[in-house]
Amino acid sequence: MEISDREFDEKVLSSEKPVLLEYWASWCPPCHTVKGVLKKLDGDDTGFRIVTVNVDRNLGYASKYNVKGVPCFMIFKQGELIHREVGARSEKQIRAMLTEHI
């Protein structure tokens, strides 16, 4: 699910479930590759809310969390950033990241 800065507090910081957030950009080829993986994971029962944010259209929280490269993955739990990785990841790598933080 794509969200904007307006929805960030509700969908990420106030989420009862842990959140996997991906910052992406339309000009980023690896981001487009990861999009299919995230869509598949969103359909599975991972225990995470999976959201994406277009960094070019939503600079507020991207600046707050110092996003300098995309794709940028962040895991939030109870409103706190607990993990961060930059760069494209395979489905296996993303699942491992989620399993580590469930």
The three-state secondary structure class of 39 is: helix
Q: Which of the residues 3, 20, 21, 31 is marked catalytic?
A: 31
Q: Which of the residues 13, 25, 28, 41 is marked catalytic?
A: 28
- 28 catalytic residue (yes or no): yes
Find, among 52, 42, 41, the residue nearest to 93 by Cα: 41
60: its two tokens: 């507020």
Task: Give 3-state DSSP helix, strand, coil % of the chain, rounded to 5.
Answer: 40, 25, 35
54 phi and psi angles, rounded to 5 deg: -75, 115
Residues designated catalytic: 28, 31
